[in-house]
Amino acid sequence: MTAMWNGCLADTDYFEMRSRGGHEYGVWVTTPPGYDPATPAPVMYVLDGNWTVGMTAPLIVTQADPMQQIRPYVQVSVGYAGEEAQHWATLRNRDLVPPGEPVAPEFVDAVEMGVDTGRMTREQADAYLAELRDTRADAFLAFLTEELNPRIEREYGTAASGHGLFGYSYGGLFSLYAWLSGCTLFESIGAGSPGVVGEDSQIFARLRELGDNLPAAKLHVTVNERELFGDLAVYQNLAKNTAVLLHRLGSRDGTVTSEVLRETHVTGLQASFLSYLRTCRSQ
């Protein structure tokens, strides 16, 4: 990285990687200050890197917080590279949404409202919705576990186990999908304001299929107070369905935990990440 960016994201490397499926990804790797591969740390995978890296990677200093120390981890933020980086908010739909996930009418209404208010062009809205017609969270999960993780382990000397995954919004939906898929790479998973917008979500279908045979990995879910009590139907549904999900899961002897944050959907990212760290990775 350039000296300017290294000053903002200390101890961070950046590289680009093409998946077997032909998609190009940007990857930021942030190591703790003074990291020694001789004492390998597990990896924390953070989704939506183009948006999240600036708000989450600097929090790696929590590993040295004397008031609540977080267990060591190497953060790997995954986003999009090159010309595609500017379209990350659209491309994430392809990668983070489970195959066959229904598109809720409230979600379409929210996109149309973006056009009406000038936040999106008609072309951008159409491209955004088009990516939801062939969603491939399964392929992206395979990229993380079978392609990216071996490279990180090889090049950064990270631990072989104890890894974590954090996603927010549609990233949170992906986190739930990864948890329910039985993926064994992650010891703990954080799902912030997961995008379970419809009652017919694949998440509920998968939950019914599994019954009591739920994964052993720890799951921490957050939702925002202002999503629930705001006046946007898409966020109201998200919060309501998250509450239904948590009710069906129960506490699971502490394996499933949750927290309500006093944030909006946009401002809740960093607070959600901190909540996950404090709950799942504190010493």
Whole-structure pTM value = 0.94
- Residue 228, classed as helix, strand or coil, is helix
Among left, alpha and beta (phi > 0; psi -120 to 50; other), residue 26 is beta
2-54 pLDDT tens trace: 565 666 788 999 999 999 999 999 999 999 988 888 999 999 999 999 999 99
The yes-or-no verdict on residue 108 having pLDDT over 80 is yes
Q: What is the C-alpha separation between 218 and 179, in angstroms, rounded?
A: 9
Rounded distance, CA 158 to CA 165, Å? Answer: 15
Distances (CA, A) of 230 to 36, 115, 239: 46, 20, 10
Tens of pLDDT along 180-196? 999 999 999 999 999 99
Bridge partners of 261, per DSSP, are 224
* CA gap 152, 41 in Å, rounded: 11
Q: Report pLDDT digits (tens) over 194-214.
A: 999 999 999 999 999 998 888
User: What does the pLDDT look like over 34-44, one tens digit per residue?
Assistant: 888 899 999 99
The domain limits of the chain are 3-101+136-280
Angular region, 103: left φ>0, alpha ψ -120 to 50, beta rest: beta
| CATH entry 3.40.50.1820 includes domain 3-101+136-280 | yes
Beta-bridge partners for 43: 74
Rounded Cα–Cα distance for residues 260 and 275 (Å): 10
Question: How many whole angstroms separate alpha carbon 30 and alpha carbon 81?
Answer: 17
